[in-house]
Every structure is written in structure tokens, then in C-alpha cells.
């Protein structure tokens, strides 16, 4: 691996070394995984803390509260403070939060730890994405952000599997102890290998920085448009994943949770699309990638609707859905990062707020629709949201730009 001095020589005018791109991707994977470890562990946690099925969901709610707090109050700090020191400091706090969860003896202590995990895991993940954009030269920003986003996808998908394996071997608390050790190791590596390069920062107080988050939403149309596309596409994705367990766990399939979760592993292939979409955005093909991604998002619901006839069709639909998601997500991020070098952290924080709202609305809507109209109703809902995203993109573009994108 290159030396620390080698890393320091990298600047915005040179191509980012492959080892540094990989380090940022691995760091993203390890950071985001902390937000999702608890999902397959809820039954074990509920038994130990005497929480019934209706109450144990508060563990996930606590984590999501931490995520929201991070987007609003912590992620923007990347535009105010030295990003390298901020990442290392947050990793130190993350080690303490993981240890707190692993050693929790009461429910309030557990929930406080989960809030901290959601906050620090999200702050690290989004901060690393912003740092990736800041360290990359403008001509390669899409490629670098795409690789970092690929790390996020892998961390998100594998977190549940790894948590289950570790918990089966050593208990649920071991999951957080192992993660604490990995976070400490990551802090040491980043301290030695991240470039010590001065990056643009905002000349604002903390509270002025937070107020400027909303000013960016009011004044930057690219952020609003890309944010709304994100809201709709994540609403569609959330509608799918939230309702999927209901038909698969019921007859005639009656699949286990492990088998149902395995469908998520199909999404690993979306990592390849994340990197490719970033390169297309670097070449100025963001609008063409957008229309292709939104079209795939609409088409994916056709094989997904065949769930009751074929699990192979469902797997195909999952693959198409995830390819569309990664293409759109990386393109969106690459476009918003081009707005201002001094506002990368605030831009990603504002963008991810759209994601959070869309995910929440999709989850609520899908369960309500499934109760009334079954799986076909969920598919109609998802296809409708996807079509709305495609229509929104078309009406917010100048006619010449839209026509050029559609011609490919």
C-alpha cells in the first residue's frame, strides 16, 4: 500500500489512486453496516430485554432517529471542520457506542446506544461519500463516488448476513464487539492513509451552517429535482422490500427469513452498475442514465408481479430494480456534488433527507395496500410511483435536453 506521503501528494488535479478509492469504499461498507446489524437480531434482543413482538421494533426506531439527527445536525459539519479529523473523531465515538450496545444491561441504555449507532453510522457513511467527492478530481468524481456508493451497497446487503452468522456462533452482543474492533482498526488505517490535504470549508458559524442547508434547498434547482427523484425512487424500493416478506412467508412458499433475505444478495450485482453510472456521469451522460434508470424502475414491476407463479421471475425483477436504483442514486449524487465544493456535506445531507422521507412513505403505503389488494396491489403502487418519477424527470427538463436523452 502507498505510504502516507504518497497519499498526501494526491490533489484535485490528479487521478485518485486505486488503493485510496478502495479504502473509501471499504470504510463506507463498515460504517453503514452498523445501522443494519440489529434487524436480524431483534428476536434475540427482544427475549433478553423482555420486549414482545409489538415493542421490539422500537430498537429499529431508535436507530432511525439517530439517522435523522445525523442528517440534520452532524453530516453538515463536514463543510465546517477538517474532514479527515472529523472522520477519525466520529470513528472513536462509534467504537464507544458499539461497546455501549454490547454491554447494555437495561432497555434505556440499549436504546440510547442504538440512537448513537444510527447517528454515527449515518454520519460516517454520508461524510465519507462527501469526502470521496471532495478528494476526487472533477473529471473522475462520478467514478469515485460510484465506487464509494458500491461500498455502501455491499455493507448494507451483507450486514444482516454477517450479523446472523456471528450471533449464531457467539450471541448477538458479539456482533457489536466485533464491529467495535473493526471500527478501531479502520480509525487507525484512516489516520495513517487518508491524505492530509486542505479542502474547501464554509466560513460560517454552526447555526448559520444549518440554516444554509435549507437555503441550498431553496436556491439550487438541481438539488430539488434530484432530491424529488430520490424520494420517489426510494418510495418505490421501500414499498417492494417492506411488503416482500408477507407473500413469501405465507403459503405456498412459506420461506424462512434467511431465504427471504437471500433475495437481497441479488442486489450485489448493482455494485457494478454504481461504478458504471458514475463513469457515465463523468462523461456528461447523466440525463441519459437517468431516463434509462427510471425506465428500468418501471419495467421491473412486470416480473415482480409474477411472484406467485415464479421465484425466478421475482429474482429477475429484484436485479432490474437494484440496477435501476444504483444507476439513479450515483447519478443523482454526482450531479449534486457538482454544485459547490464548499457544500458537499450539506448537499448530501439534504439529498438523503429526501431518501428518508421516501423510504418512510413507501413502507407505510405498501403494508396498507397489501392488506387491501394483495401483492398485485403493491406492484401497481410501485409501478405508479416509478412512472411518477419518470414523468417528473421529463417535465422538469427543457424539451431539447429531454429529447436528446430519450434519443440516447
**Model pLDDT, residue 274:** 61
Q: Environment class of residue 232 by beta-carbon count within 10 Å: exposed (0-12), middle (13-18) or buried (19+)? A: buried
Q: How far apart are CA 12 and CA 14, in angstroms?
A: 6
User: Using DSSP, how many helices (H) and how many strands (E) does the chain show?
Assistant: 17, 0
In this predicted structure, which of 42-46, 113-117, 342-346 has the lowest mean pLDDT? 42-46
Top mean pLDDT of 211-215, 236-240, 288-292 is at 288-292
The larger pLDDT score, comparing residue 242 to residue 236, is at 236
Predicted confidence (pLDDT) at residue 15 exceeds the cutoff of 60: yes
Binned at pLDDT 50, 70 and 90, residue 228 comes out as very high
Which pLDDT tens digit goes with each residue over 274-314? 666 667 777 777 889 999 999 999 999 999 999 999 999 99
Binned at pLDDT 50, 70 and 90, residue 1 comes out as very low
* Mean pLDDT, residues 143-167: 82
* Mean pLDDT, residues 374-403: 88
Binned at pLDDT 50, 70 and 90, residue 258 comes out as low
In this predicted structure, which of 109-113, 179-183, 242-246 has the lowest mean pLDDT? 242-246
Q: How far apart are CA 61 and CA 33, in angstroms?
A: 16
Predicted confidence (pLDDT) at residue 41 exceeds the cutoff of 90: no
**Model pLDDT, residue 233:** 94
Global pTM reads 0.75
Q: How far apart are CA 263 and CA 95, in angstroms?
A: 31
Predicted confidence (pLDDT) at residue 154 exceeds the cutoff of 70: yes
Among 392, 38, 385, residue whose Cα is nearest residue 234: 385
* Mean pLDDT, residues 91-116: 95
Q: How far apart are CA 320 and CA 270, in angstroms?
A: 9
Angle between helix axes 344-396 and 286-299 (nearest 10 degrees) is 70
Which pLDDT tens digit goes with each residue over 359-368? 878 877 887 8
Cell match 452498475: residue?
Answer: 273
Predicted confidence (pLDDT) at residue 13 exceeds the cutoff of 70: no
**Model pLDDT, residue 145:** 84
Q: How far apart are CA 300 and CA 233, in angstroms?
A: 12
Q: How far is CA 360 from CA 73, 100, 357, 363, 408, in A?
A: 20, 28, 5, 5, 34
Instruction: Output the average pLDDT for the chain.
Output: 84
Phi/psi zone of residue 254: left (φ > 0), alpha (ψ -120 to 50 degrees), beta?
A: left
Answer yes or no: are the C-beta atoms of 374 and 101 closer than 8 Å.
no
**Model pLDDT, residue 223:** 94
* Mean pLDDT, residues 340-369: 83
* Mean pLDDT, residues 144-148: 85
* Mean pLDDT, residues 379-403: 86
Binned at pLDDT 50, 70 and 90, residue 2 comes out as very low
Q: How far apart are CA 366 and CA 147, in angstroms?
A: 31
Q: 306 phi and psi, to 5 degrees?
A: -90, 15
Which pLDDT tens digit goes with each residue over 68-95? 899 889 998 888 888 888 999 999 999 9
Among 226, 225, 233, 228, residue whose Cα is nearest residue 385: 233
Phi/psi zone of residue 397: left (φ > 0), alpha (ψ -120 to 50 degrees), beta?
A: beta
In this predicted structure, which of 126-130, 144-148, 282-286, 402-406 has the lowest mean pLDDT? 402-406
**Model pLDDT, residue 12:** 45
Predicted confidence (pLDDT) at residue 405 exceeds the cutoff of 80: no
Q: pLDDT over 70 for what percent of the chain?
A: 86
Binned at pLDDT 50, 70 and 90, residue 203 comes out as confident
The larger pLDDT score, comparing residue 3 to residue 24, is at 24
Predicted confidence (pLDDT) at residue 108 exceeds the cutoff of 70: yes
Among 389, 61, 381, 125, residue whose Cα is nearest residue 231: 389
Amino acid at each position: 500500500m502507498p505510504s502516507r506521503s504518497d497519499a498526501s501528494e494526491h490533489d484535485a488535479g490528479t487521478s485518485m489512486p486505486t488503493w485510496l478509492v478502495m479504502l473509501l469504499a471499504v470504510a463506507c461498507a463498515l460504517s453503514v453496516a452498523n445501522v443494519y446489524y440489529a434487524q436480524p437480531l431483534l428476536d434475540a434482543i427482544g427475549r433478553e430485554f423482555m420486549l414482545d413482538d409489538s415493542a421490539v421494533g422500537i430498537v429499529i426506531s431508535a436507530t432511525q432517529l439517530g439517522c435523522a439527527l445525523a442528517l440534520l445536525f452532524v453530516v453538515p459539519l463536514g463543510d465546517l471542520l477538517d474532514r479527515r479529523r472529523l472522520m477519525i473523531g466520529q470513528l472513536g465515538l462509534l467504537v464507544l457506542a458499539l461497546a455501549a450496545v454490547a454491554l447494555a444491561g437495561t432497555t434505556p441504555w440499549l436504546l440510547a446506544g442504538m440512537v448513537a449507532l444510527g447517528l454515527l453510522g449515518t454520519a460516517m457513511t454520508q461524510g465519507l461519500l462527501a469526502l470521496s467527492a471532495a478528494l476526487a478530481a472533477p473529471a473522475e468524481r462520478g467514478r469515485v463516488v460510484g465506487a464509494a456508493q458500491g461500498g455502501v451497497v455491499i455493507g448494507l446487503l451483507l450486514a444482516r448476513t454477517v450479523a446472523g452468522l456471528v450471533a449464531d456462533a457467539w450471541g448477538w452482543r458479539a456482533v457489536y464487539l466485533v464491529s467495535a474492533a473493526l471500527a478501531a482498526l479502520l480509525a487507525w488505517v484512516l489516520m495513517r492513509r487518508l491524505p492530509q490535504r486542505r479542502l474547501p470549508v464554509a466560513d460560517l458559524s454552526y447555526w448559520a451552517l444549518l440554516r444554509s442547508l435549507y437555503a441550498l434547498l431553496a436556491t439550487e434547482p438541481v438539488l430539488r429535482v434530484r432530491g424529488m427523484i430520490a424520494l420517489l425512487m426510494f418510495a418505490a424500493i421501500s414499498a417492494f422490500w417492506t411488503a416482500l416478506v408477507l407473500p413469501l412467508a405465507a403459503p405456498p412458499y412459506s420461506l424462512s427469513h434467511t431465504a427471504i433475505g437471500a433475495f437481497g444478495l441479488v442486489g450485489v450485482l448493482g455494485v457494478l452498475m454504481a461504478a458504471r453510472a458514475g463513469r457515465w456521469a463523468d462523461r456528461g451522460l447523466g440525463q441519459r442514465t437517468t431516463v434509462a434508470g427510471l425506465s428500468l424502475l418501471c419495467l421491473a414491476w412486470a416480473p415482480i408481479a409474477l411472484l406467485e407463479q415464479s421465484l425466478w421471475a421475482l429474482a429477475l425483477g429484484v436485479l432490474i430494480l437494484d440496477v435501476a436504483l444504483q444507476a439513479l442514486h450515483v447519478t443523482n449524487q454526482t450531479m449534486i456534488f457538482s454544485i459547490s465544493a464548499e457544500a458537499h456535506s450539506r448537499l448530501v445531507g439534504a439529498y438523503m433527507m429526501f431518501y428518508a422521507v421516501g423510504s418512510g412513505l413507501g413502507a407505510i403505503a405498501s403494508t396498507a395496500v397489501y392488506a387491501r389488494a394483495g401483492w398485485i396491489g403493491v406492484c401497481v403502487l410501485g409501478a405508479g410511483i416509478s412512472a411518477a418519477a419518470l414523468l417528473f424527470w421529463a417535465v422538469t427538463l427543457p424539451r431539447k435536453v429531454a429529447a436528446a436523452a430519450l434519443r440516447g
